[in-house]
Amino acid sequence: MHITALYPGTFDPITNGHSDIIERAARLFDRVIVAIAANAKKQPAFTLEERITLAREALTGLSNVEVCGFDSLLADYVQQRDAQVILRGLRAVSDFEYEFQLAGMNRRLAPRVETLFLTPAENYAFISSSLVKEVASLGGDVSAFVHPKVLAALENRLR
Ligand code: COA
């Protein structure tokens, strides 16, 4: 059976923590779709097009990984793309409550789709896109947490 996993998120911007999850998923599933939500309510620092470009640059070399944007209900989009799995990363216990709600709602909306969780390497467990943006905007070094292209984009956007 051919399994496609869809990894949704805002990816504002993609971090090495996200890439770590995606690399793990690429070894487990036939195809991984990184689905970048427009998510205007989060008021992203990067446009959807910019977030897609940065994710593609950070993920070059992963042949079974595709990056795309979406601006609809996740449960609809996952079915539209013929994915069987919604993939989410769990970094800490604090992620769990929100993820449990999201998985429950998505199961009601798309009962045949399973949500699966992967944990990133422990050195990425404390990273989030917001924290990376905050540290970068105050002149801190975030080069260990993002791809060099993302680092350059952060420097352009936030300084
Ligand atoms: N490494 C580093 N950071 C990680 C991470 C990892 N492995 N996994 C999650 N994060 C961080 C993200 O960077 C983000 O940080 P931030 O809030 O500081 O920016 C945070 O954890 C969680 O964000 P993200 O994973 O992007 O998810 P989200 O909560 O922003 O978005 C969607 C969740 C996109 C899945 C959800 O909004 C959605 O489904 N939207 C579509 C509309 C819809 O269907 N809504 C109903 C849902 S039931």
Beta-strand relationship, 65-70 and 85-89: unpaired
Rounded CA gap, 37 and 129, in Å? 14
The type of residue at 81 is R
Catalytic: 159?
Answer: no
User: Where residue 133 falls among pLDDT bands split at 50, 70, 90?
Assistant: very high
pLDDT digits (tens, 9 = 90+) for 84-132: 999 999 998 888 999 999 999 999 999 999 999 999 999 999 999 999 9
- Binding site membership of 38 for ligand 1 (Cβ less than 6 Å): no
Catalytic: 19?
Answer: no
Distance 129 CA to ligand 1 centre (A): 9
pTM (2 decimals)? 0.95
Q: In the predicted model, is pLDDT for residue 50 greater than 80? A: yes
**What is the SS3 string spanning 59-102?**
CCCCCCEEEEEECCCHHHHHHHCCCCEEEEECCCHHHHHHHHHH
**Helix, strand, coil percentages for the chain (3-state, nearest 5):** 45, 20, 35
| pLDDT value of residue 94 | 86
